[in-house]
Structure 1
Amino acid sequence: MTARSRLQLIAIAALTLPQPARAELPEPVRAMIDAAIATGDEGKVRTVTELARTTNPAEQEEIDAIVARFETAVAARKAVEAEARERKIRAAGVFDNWSGSGEFGAFRATGNSSNTGITAGLTVDREGIDWRHKLTGRVDYQRANGVTTREQFLARYEPNISISDNFYVYALAQYERDRFQGLSARYAVSGGIGYQAIKNEKVQLSLKTGPAYRITQFIGGGSDNRIAGLIGLDFDWTISERLKLTQDTNAVAETGGSAVAIIDSRNTTLQLITGLDASINSSLTARFSYAIDYDSNPPPGAVHTDTFSRVTLVYDF
């Protein structure tokens, strides 16, 4: 018998020998993984399966197969849900799919007026496949001994449309009135491009810029029409499940924090609002915000800077 024949016989004998039984995932470990999968929570499944891999290194392949089946099922479910949402949005009427929040509380003002009063606000928005519409209104008011000592109104509408994953085009129309700042009415329109720099569960950051046109009517009479430029930045940071910090440099948001700069050769205005939202329950939030309004060239008799401290309750609907 040749050496080659002997090797062939040894190989055949090895194949016919009983093979050791393949290790199986222990039942308690499998039950733990099944329980995590039953919750549908991807984070829990990831944590439990990582622990299972660590404690059962011989069953890596079986655990990987379980995870792969779970991820495939989750992806399929999300695809079905996304398709259903898209169908619902496309079939919605003009007055459907709106959501928003109402806000009511107290403010403290310094600058052109120094007083404490009530504040109320309303924000509604509607998100479509590509379009988003946002309407904002706010009133600060105080009246004492038959005399109005604080009266500020703001109304704003901003639609925008996504043109890519990160870029969007916006438009803006805004009205404000504050007779203690010497403004009978101020109108602003703007349009331009925005960029979503960061967008994840914890942090969101977007910037936008574009030309603007502003009409200012003064309490003492007269008006001023100017071409200007608008710069905006929105920043939201979800510190924890119940706590959120907002410092948005945004021409359109009073979401607890916002800021806007409208710049022209004669008069630059800047609004900064820093907010802290503390969630009370799924619909109710306590909001603390501090605002600075700066006007580089205010009407005669008015000062450059006003500040507003607000404490409000916000109801989401």
Structure 2
Amino acid sequence: MPAQAELPDPVRAMIAAAISTGNKDKVAAVIEAAKATNPDDIAEIDALNQAFLDDQAKLATRKKEEETEAIRHAGMFERWTGKGELGAFRSTGNGDDSGISASLTLKRTGIKWNHKIKASADYQRSNGITSRERLFASYEPNYVINKHVFIYGLGQFERDRIQGYSGRYSVSGGIGYQMIDADDVDLSIKAGPAYRFTSYEDGTYDDRLAGLLGLDFNWKITDRLKFSQGANAVAETGTTAVAIIDSRNTSINLVSGLEAKVSDRLSTRFSYTVDYDSNPPVGGVSTDTLSRVTIVYGF
């Protein structure tokens, strides 16, 4: 029986060059071409490919272990990521309107503990009269039990003088479930008891036990969008919904947004916010909406 021919040196060099890039897609394409043109050497080609895949698996395991150790030994103020948004407008003529919108989001992902801080401010004047003045801040830690289940805590502050309250404080804790956790889509829900204290502009106050329902949804529509100048962009929709329900007043906060990345750190974002109160103070309305376009800086 004749000896099996060795893989030609040019083909071996081509495979080695692809492997040196560390790019799995490139290696897979070269391996497929090599098999098609060298059917008698498929076993040797497969051996080269398997050695590459084994090395990649070892590298991934080592990287994950190093990342875990880095998280484990990180200080309290380390490993935070976030983004800040800023938008403003000014119009004159038949009307005199101006406004500003700003927000900040900070996240820290740990081995078991995750933290999220949010703050936003919206201010608007129309013909010399303040028509919107809203502040919002929240802190949400959660503890991961397993891949799908987590325990959350939430502290939240709101101020909306136009709606009639100078301060509304909410605390909640309960359980959450990660329904979808994919590269392009993630969806989680949470629920638990809540306590809310509201201080109104007229000097009165109200405190009640309540229940909280929450939803967080993110969908990466596409990996690449091209602008006329050739920049790449990532477009994502992000939706959060939180409902706090008690026997007297149900409030719902819904935020939907579309974000396009124009560089590694800079993005533009369009968002639409709905704030609903089933029993607003006298003179207030149940539903407020806000559409805004902002510049986003990620860090």
The two structures have a TM-score, normalised by structure 1, of 0.83
Counterpart of 1:298 in structure 2: which amino acid? P
Could you tell me which residue of structure 2 aligns to residue 315 of structure 1? 297
Counterpart of 1:244 in structure 2: which amino acid? A
After TM superposition, the structure 1 = structure 2 runs for residues 8-47 of structure 1, keeping only pairs within 5 Å, are 19-47=1-29
- Deviation for aligned residue 1:138: 0.6
Could you tell me which residue of structure 2 aligns to residue 264 of structure 1? 246
Counterpart of 1:34 in structure 2: which amino acid? A
Please give the alpha-carbon distance, in whole angstroms, between the structure 1 residues aligned to 2:48 and 2:134.
Answer: 60
Q: Which runs of 5+ in 2 are unaligned?
A: 91-96, 224-232
- Aligned with 1:245 (options 222, 236, 240): 236
Q: Is the 8 A contact 1:166 1:196 kept in 2?
A: yes
Could you tell me which residue of structure 1 aligns to residue 228 of structure 2? none
Please give the alpha-carbon distance, in whole angstroms, between the structure 2 residues aligned to 1:219 and 1:245.
Answer: 38
What SS class does the counterpart of residue 84 from structure 1 fall into? helix
Q: Is the 8 A contact 2:236 2:260 kept in 1?
A: no
Could you tell me which residue of structure 2 aligns to residue 16 of structure 1? none
Task: Mark the CA change 1:47 to 1:235 in structure 2 (over 3 Å): closer, same or farther.
Answer: farther
1:193 aligned onto 2:175: yes
What SS class does the counterpart of residue 180 from structure 1 fall into? coil
Task: Mark the CA change 1:291 to 1:28 in structure 2 (over 3 Å): closer, same or farther.
Answer: farther
After TM superposition, the structure 1 = structure 2 runs for residues 150-165 of structure 1, keeping only pairs within 5 Å, are 150-165=132-147
Seq. identity, %: 54
Q: Is the 8 A contact 2:98 2:124 kept in 1?
A: yes
Runs of 4+ in structure 1 off by over 4 angstroms are 143-147
What SS class does the counterpart of residue 30 from structure 2 fall into? helix
Task: Mark the CA change 1:21 to 1:129 in structure 2 (over 3 Å): closer, same or farther.
Answer: same
Please give the alpha-carbon distance, in whole angstroms, between the structure 1 residues aligned to 2:29 and 2:209.
Answer: 56
Q: Is the 8 A contact 1:143 1:150 kept in 2?
A: yes
After TM superposition, the structure 1 = structure 2 runs for residues 1-317 of structure 1, keeping only pairs within 5 Å, are 19-106=1-88, 117-143=99-125, 147-241=129-223, 242-248=233-239, 258-317=240-299
What SS class does the counterpart of residue 165 from structure 1 fall into? coil
Q: Relative contact order (alpha carbons < 8 A, sep ≥ 6): 1 or 2 greater? A: 1
Q: Which runs of 5+ in 1 are unaligned?
A: 1-18, 109-114, 249-257
Counterpart of 1:46 in structure 2: which amino acid? A
Q: Count how many residue pairs are aligned between Structure 1 and Structure 2.
A: 285
Please give the alpha-carbon distance, in whole angstroms, between the structure 1 residues aligned to 2:50 and 2:13.
Answer: 17
Please give the alpha-carbon distance, in whole angstroms, between the structure 2 residues aligned to 1:174 and 1:34.
Answer: 56
What SS class does the counterpart of residue 162 from structure 2 fall into? helix
Q: Which moved more, 1:201-210 or 1:170-179?
A: 201-210
Task: Mark the CA change 1:294 to 1:83 in structure 2 (over 3 Å): closer, same or farther.
Answer: same
What SS class does the counterpart of residue 70 from structure 2 fall into? helix
Task: Mark the CA change 1:39 to 1:229 in structure 2 (over 3 Å): closer, same or farther.
Answer: same
The two structures have a TM-score, normalised by structure 2, of 0.88
- The answer to which structure has the higher strand fraction is 2
Q: Is the 8 A contact 2:167 2:198 kept in 1?
A: yes
- Deviation for aligned residue 1:247: 4.1
Q: Is the 8 A contact 1:107 1:310 kept in 2?
A: no
Q: Which moved more, 1:307-316 or 1:40-49?
A: 40-49
Q: Is the 8 A contact 1:107 1:311 kept in 2?
A: no
Q: Is the 8 A contact 1:105 1:119 kept in 2?
A: yes
Task: Mark the CA change 1:107 to 1:121 in structure 2 (over 3 Å): closer, same or farther.
Answer: farther
Please give the alpha-carbon distance, in whole angstroms, between the structure 1 residues aligned to 2:103 and 2:220.
Answer: 22
Task: Mark the CA change 1:33 to 1:183 in structure 2 (over 3 Å): closer, same or farther.
Answer: farther
Task: Mark the CA change 1:208 to 1:57 in structure 2 (over 3 Å): closer, same or farther.
Answer: farther
- Deviation for aligned residue 1:116: 5.2
After superposition, the CA RMSD in angstroms is 2.2
Task: Mark the CA change 1:56 to 1:261 in structure 2 (over 3 Å): closer, same or farther.
Answer: farther
Please give the alpha-carbon distance, in whole angstroms, between the structure 2 residues aligned to 1:168 and 1:51.
Answer: 46
Please give the alpha-carbon distance, in whole angstroms, between the structure 2 residues aligned to 1:46 and 1:200.
Answer: 23
Please give the alpha-carbon distance, in whole angstroms, between the structure 2 residues aligned to 1:240 and 1:291.
Answer: 23
What SS class does the counterpart of residue 68 from structure 1 fall into? helix
Task: Mark the CA change 1:232 to 1:21 in structure 2 (over 3 Å): closer, same or farther.
Answer: same
Counterpart of 1:246 in structure 2: which amino acid? T
